[in-house]
Chain A
Amino acid sequence: MDRSAARALGLGLRRFARNPGAVAGSVVLVILLLVAVLAPLVTPYDPNAQSVGPPLAPPDRAHLLGTDRYGRDMLSRIVAGSRLSLPIGLLAVSFALVLGTALGLVTGYFGGRVDAYGTKAIDIMLGFPPIMLALLIIAISGIGISNVIFAVGIGGIPRFARIVRGATISARENVYVEAARAMGASAPRLILGHILPNVSAPIIVLATLYIGRAILESSALGFLGMGVQPPTPEWGSMLSEGREFMRHAPWLMIFPGLVLFLTVTSINLLGDYLRQILDPRLRGT
């Protein structure tokens, strides 16, 4: 690494350290990810094993977060749930990101009639309330994990497409794109090799902020009984089970919700920081 790069890195790190939200968010996220990856090693019990303790036992030393109605260990189930909720959110966002970015790049690059139709399609998709779109997909395709990913992801497509289209239109006019075109580069090469790298900042920001939303939406579907089905531990469906025992075993709904909330807050704090440094245009939106 040369000197200026090292200085830039140092500057970036100092800037990062000055943002308490971003630091706190990253620390929590790293811990959560580590726990999710190491789940089988760190969970004290098998998350699906029944009667590892008395049913509905309050938090104590043997079961730090208590047990549910079947005597399953809540801590183990919440940790196991992170291995589901985080990937579902990530996959839903990836789905939206890939299709939305492709749509945005194509409409923005080609312009003219392609852009007119593409923009119309984006507007129509934005015309649906996201939760309606998700419920509609579930109503048609049925209940299940892959349907949840699809249902949550589809609402993100027009949002990625709109931002990428705007960025592509301005990137397309740059001299280096012009130069590459003059040298005979094909459209796919221009789009993927020259435009995409230059529109990646807003994509990264939106993706980060959208992960939090996707996790919330997919857990809401789980909560409504339309997502991951019991006994598989998933935060949303665990909260739905916890609701029934709110009066006598409130820990069943407090802890999964708290973890879900912490996860999404950390992601959003990090996303907010990325927005500030990468894309000043998005500020305040």
Chain B
Amino acid sequence: MSAYVLRRLVGTVPVLFVATTLAFLVLQLIPGDPVNLMLGGVPTSLELRENLRKKLGLDRPLHIQYVTFISRAVRGDLGVSFRTRQPVVEVIRQQLPATLELAAGGMLIGVTFGMAMGVIAGIRPNSVVDTLMMLVAIVGISIPGYWTAMMLIFIFGLKLGWVPIVGSGFPALILPSIVVGSFAVGDIARLVRSSIVEVRNEDYIRTARAKGLPERHVILRHALRNAMIPVVTLLGLQLGLFVGGGVITETVFARQGIGKLLVDAILEKDYPIVQAIILMITSAYVFANFAVDILYSILDPRIRYG
């Protein structure tokens, strides 16, 4: 087991290396002078600019800058925002809880509805219910997330007035969670369906039925538990979807959060923030997939020896 964990851990290094390099290069590759961006177009003396350049370390050779960038990042120093002059880490810390809240809500909705739909469709493959469910799943992956968000705000917020469309707290989290969750519902439903169809004819299911267990029991305790294994993997891969969903959803609902922060930072050319968020989200994605791999190998020991 520990050999497997170690092998997978080593596997994350190249991705993290590329992510750090890309994040570092953002500032080098953008057209124009970072010092100009930082000054926000305010006319300043040449001396002041040179001082600033020195202070930022932009006068040193590229490889030295890179080493400095990484060693600072490791110590949790990601520079200061061009716009607000606040430490980037501080800015992100303020926005993080809102994003985690939304991701958790989205995952809850995605998993609940996705599994329910998948099970119902999987029990009776090729029935009318199955076809309908699969149609819903296709619609789910075809609908633009930000449009779903706007339609929900329009119908349930503006027309019916059932839920608040701004503010904080649980009620304001309902609609955004539905939107983020809807990105995953279709994929989860498809996967659960095919898993259930597969395990439906296994011996242990027949045994469970033969014992006289109620059908509900057979499906939930016996079939679904085994069908869960691939779903766990999918959730790891879907983290990207939840992140992407956050970017769009936070913008539409004008919520606080990392996604909104990133979009604003790109549009305002606040590059230290862009660098930090790229680094943070990519690392989170890499480690989530790592955790899923480990979890998967615990659920299904065959993987470890494969």
Contacts and interface: CB of A to CB of B under 8 A. Distances in A.
Determine which residue in B144, B154, B194, B251 has the highest number of CB atoms from chain A within 10 A of its CB, and name it. B144
Contact of B266 (A226, A239, A247, A268): A226
B176 interface: no
Number of chain A interface residues as a range: 35 or more
Interface in A77-122: 120
Interface string B214-226: 0000000000000
A123 interface: yes
B278 interface: yes
B151 A257 contact: yes
Interface string B10-29: 01001100110010011001
B263 interface: yes
Given A128-B19, A224-B251, A261 B282 contact: no
B284 to A, nearest CB: 9
A76 interface: no
A139 B266 contact: yes
Interface in B111-150: 135, 138-139, 141-147, 150
A140 B191 contact: no
Nearest to A132: B281
A161 interface: no
A53 interface: no
B26 A136 contact: yes
Contact of A283 (B135, B194, B239, B266): B194
Interface in A228-258: 236, 239, 242-243, 246-247, 250, 253-254, 257
Contacts of B289: 127
Nearest to A243: B150
Interface stretch (A42-50, A61-69, A187-195, A215-223): A215-223
Interface in A143-201: none
Contacts of A225: 267
A139 B15 contact: no
Contacts of A131: 240, 243-244, 247
A21 B236 CA distance: 30
A128 B142 contact: no
Interface residues of B, number: 51
B235 interface: no
Contacts of B241: 129
Determine which residue in B239, B241, B266 has the highest number of CB atoms from chain A within 10 A of its CB, and name it. B266
B151 A254 contact: yes
Contact of A246 (B139, B153, B190, B286): B153
Nearest to A250: B154
Given A135-B266, A264-B144, A124 B248 contact: no
Nearest to A20: B131
Classify the secondary structure of B's interface with A. helix
Given A124-B14, A284-B194, A257 B144 contact: yes
Contacts of A124: 14-15, 18
Nearest to A138: B266
Contacts of B135: 21
A246 B158 contact: yes
A138 B271 CA distance: 12
A216 B142 CA distance: 8
A269 interface: yes
B138 A272 contact: yes
A130 interface: yes
B142 A268 contact: yes
A86 to B, nearest CB: 15
Contact of B138 (A247, A265, A283): A265
Nearest to B247: A131
A212 B263 CA distance: 23
B306 interface: no
A117 to B, nearest CB: 11
Contact of A268 (B138, B271, B281): B138
A176 to B, nearest CB: 31
A167 to B, nearest CB: 21
A34 B289 CA distance: 44
A123 B15 CA distance: 8
Contact of A129 (B243, B248, B263, B266): B243
B43 to A, nearest CB: 24
Q: Which 4 A-B pairs have the closest CB atoms?
A: A129-B240, A284-B194, A131-B244, A257-B147
Given A253-B154, A265-B142, 17 more contacts: A21-B138, A127-B18, A128-B285, A129-B239, A129-B243, A129-B281, A129-B285, A131-B244, A132-B244, A139-B26, A140-B29, A224-B251, A225-B267, A226-B263, A243-B150, A268-B141, A284-B191
22 contacts: A21-B138, A127-B15, A127-B285, A128-B282, A129-B240, A135-B263, A138-B266, A139-B271, A139-B274, A140-B30, A224-B248, A224-B251, A226-B263, A246-B158, A247-B158, A253-B150, A257-B144, A261-B143, A265-B138, A269-B138, A272-B138, A284-B190
